Amino acid sequence: MTKITGAKIVVIGGGTGSFTLLSGIKNYVSDVTAIVNMADDGGSTGQLRDEFGVLPPGDVRQCLVALSESPKVRELFNYRFSDGSLKGHAFGNIFLSALEQMTGSFAEAVDVADQVLNVKGKVIPVTLDNVKLVLNSRYKEVVTGQHLIGNMSFNKLDIRPDLALSPSARLNPVAKDAIKEADMIIIAPGNLYGSLAPALIVNGMKQALLATKARVVYVCNLVTKPGQSDNFCVADFADEIERFIGSKRLDFVLYNTELPSKSLLKRYALQKEFGVETKPKEFKSKHYKAVGKKLLSKEVKRAVKGDIIAHTRSYIRHDPDALARQLMKVYFS
C-alpha cells in the first residue's frame, strides 16, 4: 500500500479507541502524531503512579504499540504478567516508568521507547504535568481520579459533569506545535469523560484548536456507557466533545451505521450498554458535516488475561482499516 506523503494527521485521545484508529491510519499516511491523555490512574498505570510517583504510561504505551513496525517488540510491550507481584502489569508500562525514573523525564522515556519499538510517527503526552481528573458537582461533592470518574454514574447530576484537572495542566508545547502544523486532527473514540475529556480540557488546547487551520474530525463511540451516556445519540456525543473544547470547532463527525450481531447486542444490554443511535434530523441544525458509514469490526476482541481491570466479555469495536479509509475520504473531501 502506498502511503500518502505530505499529509500531517494528529490523533487526540488515549486507550483502546486511539489504538484502533492509529493501527489503521498509519497504513495510509506517513506522518501520524498521537496526542495522549495523561490523567489515567487505573489498573497497572494507577499502581505505578501510586507506588513510584511516575506519570501515567498506559495510554502512551498503547499508542506507541499501535504505531510500532516491530511485531515482536509490540507483543513484548503489551505482554501482561499473569502471576506474582507483577500480576496485571504490562511490560511496556514498567519499561516506560523505569526510563522516566532513570532519566528524570517522561518525554525522554517516550523518545527511547519510540526507538525501541521502531515507531512510524510520534507519540506526545498532552501535558507533562502530573495531574488528576476532578469532578465537581452541584452537591459540592468532589470526586478525584480518572478511573473512578470514568466508571461512576452521573445519574444524580442534573447537569452534565463539570470536569477539571488538578493541578491545572499546561498543554505540552510539542503537542501545541503538532496541532498547529496538522492538516487533519482526529478526536478518537473512547471513554467520553475518563479518556477524551482529560485530553481536551488541558489549558491551551482550546486555543490551539482554534488557531490551527486543520480540519477537525470526531469519530463517535459505538456504544453508550451506563450512568454516563445513557440514551446519547451521535449528536449528543459531539456536543460533549465541543463542550470540553469550549468551542464549536468540529468540521466533521464520523459515525457507524452498522449493527453488531444480536447475540453481542444482547450481551452488552445485560451490562446496560447499547448501540449509539443516529437521529439525522438533529444534524440539520449542526455546523459540522455528519458522515455515517459501516465501520464495525467483524473480529471479536477479548480482554487480555491478567489485566488488573479487564472485563470478561467481548468487545464491539471499530474496524481499523474501514475507519482509516473513511477518514482519508474526509481528508480529501
Query: Does residue 295 contact residue 322 with C-beta atoms inside 8 Å?
Result: yes
314: its cell numbers: 467481548
> Which residue has 444524580 as its cell numbers?
156
Q: Omega before 167 cis (within 30°)?
A: yes
Residues in the chain: 333
pLDDT of residue 312: 34
Cα 31 to Cα 121: distance, rounded to the nearest angstrom: 6
Cα 276 to Cα 98: distance, rounded to the nearest angstrom: 40
In a domain, 101, yes or no: yes
Residue among 303, 35, 22 at smallest CA distance from 176? 35
The CATH number of residue 205's host domain is: 3.40.50.10680
Give the chain's domain count. 1
Cα 129 to Cα 161: distance, rounded to the nearest angstrom: 23
In a domain, 86, yes or no: yes
Q: Residue 86 gets which letter from DSSP? A: G
In a domain, 164, yes or no: yes
Cα 84 to Cα 65: distance, rounded to the nearest angstrom: 25
Query: Does residue 89 contact residue 54 with C-beta atoms inside 8 Å?
Result: no
Cα 283 to Cα 280: distance, rounded to the nearest angstrom: 5
pLDDT of residue 315: 79
Phi-psi region of 14 (alpha: psi -120 to 50; beta: other; left: phi over 0): left
In a domain, 4, yes or no: no
Reading the chain (333 residues) residue by residue, the pLDDT tens digits are 567 878 999 999 988 999 999 999 999 999 999 999 999 998 999 999 999 999 999 999 999 999 999 999 999 999 999 999 899 999 999 999 999 999 999 999 999 999 999 999 999 999 999 999 999 876 567 889 999 999 888 887 767 889 999 999 999 999 999 999 999 999 999 999 999 999 999 999 999 999 999 999 999 999 999 999 999 999 999 999 999 999 999 999 999 999 888 888 899 999 999 999 998 888 999 999 999 999 999 876 555 444 433 443 457 899 999 999 999 999 998
In a domain, 49, yes or no: yes
What is the pTM (predicted TM-score) of this model?
Answer: 0.93
Query: Does residue 322 contact residue 293 with C-beta atoms inside 8 Å?
Result: yes
In a domain, 78, yes or no: yes
Cα 282 to Cα 278: distance, rounded to the nearest angstrom: 9
In a domain, 190, yes or no: yes
Which domain covers residue 129, as residue numbers? 11-332
Cα 184 to Cα 209: distance, rounded to the nearest angstrom: 11
In a domain, 3, yes or no: no
pLDDT of residue 156: 75
Cα 321 to Cα 302: distance, rounded to the nearest angstrom: 19
